[in-house]
Structure 1
Amino acid sequence: MTWAEVARIDWTASAPRVDDRIHEYRPTSAGEVLVGKASHHGRAWHAVAGEHADPRGSSYPEGTQWRTSDRIWRVERLRTGDVLRRNPQLRALLAGMRGLAERHGDDHVRLVVWFDS
Structure 2
Amino acid sequence: MGTDISGFLEYRVPRDGREPSWRAAHELGYLYGGRDYDAFGCLFGVRNYANFRPLAAGRGLPADLSAAVGARIAELTERHGEDGLHGITWITWAEVEAVDWDEPAERPDSRLHAYRRTPDGLRMTGKAAWSRAFAEAVGLERGEVREWPEGGEWLVGDTLYRSVTIRRRDAVTGTGEWQPVWRAMKELAAQHGDDNVRLVVWFDD
Q: What is the TM-score with the length of structure 1 in the denominator? A: 0.73
RCO higher in 1 or 2 (8 Å CA, sep ≥ 6)? 1
Match of 1:107 in 2: 195
Helix, strand or coil at the partner of 1:81:
helix
Number of residue-to-residue matches in the alignment? 113
| Cα deviation, residue 5, structure 1 | 1.1
Q: Structure 1, residues 19-73: CA drift from partner, whole Å, max 9, x if none?
A: 2211122344445443322111122x246x43338643x2x32101123564221
Q: Is the 8 A contact 1:66 1:74 kept in 2?
A: yes
- Sequence identity percentage: 39
Match of 1:8 in 2: 98
Unmatched segments (≥5 aa) in structure 2: 1-90
**1: CA distance, partners of 2:158 / 2:175:** 24
**2: CA distance, partners of 1:46 / 1:107:** 48
Q: Is the 8 A contact 1:62 1:76 kept in 2?
A: yes
Higher helix proportion (structure 1 or 2): 1
Q: Is the 8 A contact 1:22 1:55 kept in 2?
A: no
Match of 2:164 in 1: 76
Structure-2 change in CA distance of 1:5 and 1:70 (3 Å): same
| Cα deviation, residue 75, structure 1 | 0.3
**1: CA distance, partners of 2:120 / 2:183:** 28
Taking only aligned residues, the RMSD between alpha carbons, in angstroms, comes to 2.8
Structure-2 change in CA distance of 1:35 and 1:93 (3 Å): farther
What does 1:1-117 align with in structure 2 at a 5 Å threshold?
1-43=91-133, 45-46=134-135, 49-52=137-140, 55-56=145-146, 58=147, 60-68=148-156, 70-85=158-173, 88-117=176-205
Q: What is the TM-score with the length of structure 2 in the denominator? A: 0.46
